[in-house]
Chain A
Amino acid sequence: AQTVTQSQPEMSVQEAETVTLSCTYDTSESDYYLFWYKQPPSRQMILVIRQEAYKQQNATENRFSVNFQKAAKSFSLKISDSQLGDAAMYFCAYKQGGSEKLVFGKGTKLTVNP
């Protein structure tokens, strides 16, 4: 079964600085998708960014970008110019091609210090 590991239970960053959240996954499949979701204190799950495994180019969404290392099965999230509103739990998720379910990591709690 596929597994997703987030090795950093908690991270902190100063406002306006850059932070990188780590995620590794275990799969023998070649067709899959990776996601980062954000869960603020409101508990809403918000999609931050997605990456298709067949794409070599790293996905970016404004201040959010990923470093996708397929051979290493690593999918880290970089947040640039951190803002107070970025404070949340961040979940890395894996979805195998042809499967319907998302497999989530345990999450990383990000604190942004003013």
Chain B
Amino acid sequence: DSGVTQTPKHLITATGQRVTLRCSPRSGDLSVYWYQQSLDQGLQFLIQYYNGEERAKGNILERFSAQQFPDLHSELNLSSLELGDSALYFCASSVDIGWETQYFGPGTRLLVL
């Protein structure tokens, strides 16, 4: 158990819908990262927040957005869902930025029908 929690574990929804994925980092960690794992794209970095501020952006679609709250939990919002958004979404956290190791949560499996 890495100490990073993600809810829900599984999510099934329909095309066009909007969902919110939630992540709680390890105690003391200030940095949160979101990754998407799909069969065709592999593991891809989406976005990072550090102490409430967006710090880095990767291959995140405009339909996706994220935020980190004052209690340091983070939410990833996915809207206008398409079949291709079906994937495993991971949250990771680290104490600080830079060289710190990222510890991953168990992931949320999203299925868009």
Contacts and interface: CB of A to CB of B under 8 A. Distances in A.
A47 B58 contact: no
A95 B33 CA distance: 13
Given A101-B48, A101-B58, A45 B99 contact: no
A102 B48 CA distance: 11
A47 B101 contact: yes
State the majority secondary structure of interface residues on B.
strand
A102 B107 contact: no
B28 interface: no
Nearest to A100: B56
Given A43-B106, A101-B48, A106 B99 contact: no
A43 B107 contact: yes
Given A43-B88, A47-B103, A101 B43 contact: no
B48 A45 contact: no
Given A43-B88, A46-B2, A106-B42, A97 B98 contact: yes
Contact of B90 (A35, A45, A95, A97): A45
Nearest to B31: A100
Contacts of B44: 104
Contacts, number: 53
State the majority secondary structure of interface residues on A.
loop
Interface string A91-103: 1000101111111
A64 interface: no
22 contacts: A33-B99, A37-B104, A43-B107, A44-B107, A45-B90, A45-B92, A46-B2, A46-B104, A47-B101, A91-B43, A99-B56, A100-B31, A100-B45, A100-B55, A102-B33, A102-B45, A102-B102, A103-B45, A104-B42, A104-B44, A105-B42, A107-B42
Interface of B: 2, 31, 33, 35, 42-45, 48, 55-56, 58, 88, 90, 92, 97-99, 101-104, 106-107, 109
Interface of A: 33, 35, 37, 42-47, 50, 52, 91, 95, 97-107
